């Protein structure tokens, strides 16, 4: 007892420094989880409804996996990948996307011997080391679907339909933009053509586009500068350079979409940043009505066909595939913007309050009995005063509060309080569950 603390010493004690989360990584707290859970639930429902199998792949992969698939020269691999050497000296990467892993799994597990096409869905965190912004984090969640082993445009059409339906199921308004970028070969010849065209108008292009000319000419197409847009309007369009088969495929896709009465926008300027895409590419963007300006991180989901990827990875030749992925944080941001309310958990039926040590001990057991009877119940056993407990009960929205105090323990009763009217009744403790069930009907 005799210690006499609180002297000069105490004031000199330095507070321990807090540790912040790592840049671009954020906590998703309970009050935001309803949005994420709502998304996850709807994503799982639709995946299962269209008979996709669930797959989880490792977060860590061999660096070569992404260099080979996403493309060594892409920004994602070149600048944005978390790469490090593990203790065994292997170069590993935090996955920046999941398609490569899914295809690897398809090959590794001999899924080519399964009935084709193989349909898989996944959901999990991805990692890209970029400058964080709203809608762009270094760790972010993606949900995606892959259909491997299906060549027909009907597959593309159905996948686009699923993508749109998912957002509609979530109560959101979205638009879909589509384009075809043909094969790597046709893309190459088109690039040459496009560069030739752009050079002729070089003086009208912005500084960035001057650079893009040599670095990533396809990006000229979606520059937002007015001058560039004017020039690009006249530019050759990739659809006119498609090989016959790709053109045919694209036409079929459009027919299927028309058949589905699924609205879409042809966007000849839509291109993709990952090397593996072929033919169909599409993007899901919010539909906020009357040409409202969309921010730069507005794309909610994107996908396309990647016919060459399986072979590139060492799988069987000519295994066509399509897929798409959704950025869940972006979807959540857009849900909030469109004022979509995720379903809230229903309020509990019962709050259980106790007064005194003896009552608390028994309360613990009685509480389990109530739950076992199928009623939803909450408590705050850590609180002592009845006042504090009733405050908590009130906030919980519980319909009834069951009160067990010293007196009730002696009588073998419990008090049941109707939280709306404030009316209370004393009930024999073996009749309480029955009573509550009747009242809650």
Partner RNA sequence: GCGGCCAUGGUGAAAUGGUUAUCACAUCGGGUUGUGGUCCCGGCGUUACGGGUUCGAUCCCCGUUGGCCGCCCCA
Please give the residues from 167 up to 186 whose contact with RNA meets the rule CB under 7 A: none
Beta-bridged to residue 62, according to DSSP, are 92
Pairing state between β 400-404 and 350-354: parallel
DSSP E strand stretches across 64-170:
83-85, 91-94, 118-127, 139-148
With CB under 7 A as the rule, give the number of residues binding RNA: 71
Among residues 119, 249, 279, 417, the one that binds RNA under rule CB under 7 A:
417
Q: How far is Cα 225 from Cα 293, in angstroms, rounded to an integer?
A: 14
Among residues 40, 136, 165, 229, the one that binds RNA under rule CB under 7 A:
136
| Nearest to RNA of 247, 360 (CB atom) | 360
Among residues 5, 115, 289, 422, the one that binds RNA under rule CB under 7 A:
422
Cβ burial 207-226 (10 Å sphere, 16+ → b, else e):
eebeebbeeebbbbbebeee
Q: Write down the H helix ranges in 265-327.
A: 309-312
The answer to whether the beta carbons of residues 417 and 434 sit under 8 Å apart is no
Pairing state between β 413-418 and 400-404: antiparallel
Tell the smallest beta-carbon distance from residue 366 to RNA (Å): 14
Q: Based on the shown chain and the rule CB under 7 A, indicate whether residue 90 belongs to the binding site for RNA.
A: no
Evaluate the CA torsion angle 258, 300, 277, 218 in order and state its sign: positive
Among residues 394, 425, 431, 439, the one that binds RNA under rule CB under 7 A:
394
Among residues 8, 296, 344, 438, the one that binds RNA under rule CB under 7 A:
296
Tell the smallest beta-carbon distance from residue 285 to RNA (Å): 9
What DSSP state is assigned to residue 220? G
The 60-62 sheet, strands edge to edge: 60-62, 91-94, 83-85
Q: Based on the shown chain and the rule CB under 7 A, indicate whether residue 15 belongs to the binding site for RNA.
A: yes
Tell the smallest beta-carbon distance from residue 410 to RNA (Å): 8
**334 labeled part of a ligand binding site:** no
The answer to whether the beta carbons of residues 409 and 357 sit under 8 Å apart is no
Please give the residues from 49 up to 88 whose contact with RNA meets the rule CB under 7 A: 74-76, 79-80
Of the candidate spans 192-200, 311-319, 338-346, 382-390, the one that interacts with RNA by CB under 7 A turns out to be 382-390
Of the candidate spans 1-9, 23-31, 60-68, 261-269, the one that interacts with RNA by CB under 7 A turns out to be 23-31
**106 labeled part of a ligand binding site:** no
The answer to whether the beta carbons of residues 325 and 98 sit under 8 Å apart is yes
Tell the smallest beta-carbon distance from residue 124 to RNA (Å): 13
Q: Based on the shown chain and the rule CB under 7 A, indicate whether residue 33 belongs to the binding site for RNA.
A: no
Site string for RNA, 197-236 (x = CB under 7 A): -----------x---x---x--x---xx------------
Beta-bridged to residue 304, according to DSSP, are 281, 323
**97 labeled part of a ligand binding site:** yes
The answer to whether the beta carbons of residues 307 and 149 sit under 8 Å apart is no
Among residues 140, 250, 306, 352, the one that binds RNA under rule CB under 7 A:
140
Which residues belong to the annotated binding site for L-histidine?
97-99, 128, 142, 146, 272, 276-277
């Amino acid at each position: 007892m005799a210690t006499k603390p609180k002297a000069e010493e105490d004031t000199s004690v330095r507070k321990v420094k807090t540790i912040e989360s790592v840049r671009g990584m954020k906590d998703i707290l309970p009050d935001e989880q309803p949005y994420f859970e709502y998304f996850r639930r709807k994503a799982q429902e639709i995946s299962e409804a269209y008979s996709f199998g669930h797959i989880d792949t490792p977060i860590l992969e061999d660096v070569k996996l992404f260099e080979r698939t996403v493309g060594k020269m892409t920004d994602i691999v070149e600048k944005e990948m978390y790469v490090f050497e593990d203790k065994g000296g292997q170069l590993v990467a935090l996955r920046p996307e999941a398609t490569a892993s899914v295809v690897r799994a398809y090959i590794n597990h001999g899924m080519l011997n399964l009935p084709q096409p193989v349909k898989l869905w996944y959901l999990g965190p991805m990692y890209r080391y970029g400058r964080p912004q709203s809608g762009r984090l270094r760790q972010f969640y993606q949900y995606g679907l892959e259909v491997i082993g299906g060549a027909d445009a009907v597959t593309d059409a159905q996948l686009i339909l699923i993508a749109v339906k998912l957002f509609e199921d979530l109560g959101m308004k979205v638009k879909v933009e589509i384009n075809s970028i043909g094969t790597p070969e046709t893309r190459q010849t088109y690039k040459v053509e496009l560069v030739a065209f752009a050079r002729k108008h070089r003086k009208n292009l912005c500084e960035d586009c001057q650079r893009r000319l040599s670095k990533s000419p396809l990006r000229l197409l979606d520059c937002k500068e007015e001058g560039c847009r004017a020039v690009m309007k006249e530019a050759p369009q990739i659809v006119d350079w498609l090989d016959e088969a790709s053109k045919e495929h694209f036409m079929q896709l459009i027919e299927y979409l028309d058949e589905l009465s699924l609205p879409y926008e042809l966007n000849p300027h839509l291109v993709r940043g990952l090397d593996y895409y072929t033919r169909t590419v599409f993007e899901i963007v919010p539909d906020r009505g009357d040409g409202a300006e969309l921010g730069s991180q507005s794309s909610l989901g994107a996908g396309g066909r990647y016919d060459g990827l399986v072979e590139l990875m060492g799988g069987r030749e000519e295994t066509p595939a399509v897929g798409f992925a959704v950025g869940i944080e972006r979807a959540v941001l857009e849900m909030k913007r469109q004022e979509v309310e995720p379903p809230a958990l229903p309020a509990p039926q019962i709050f259980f309050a106790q007064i005194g040590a003896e009552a608390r001990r028994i309360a613990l057991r009685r509480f389990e009995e109530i739950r076992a009877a199928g009623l939803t119940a909450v408590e705050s056993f850590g609180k002592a005063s009845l006042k504090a407990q009733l405050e908590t009960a009130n906030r919980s929205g519980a319909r009834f509060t069951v009160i067990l105090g010293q007196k009730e323990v002696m009588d073998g009763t419990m008090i049941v309080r109707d939280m709306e009217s404030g009316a209370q009744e004393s009930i024999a403790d073996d009749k309480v569950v029955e009573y509550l069930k009747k009242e809650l009907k």
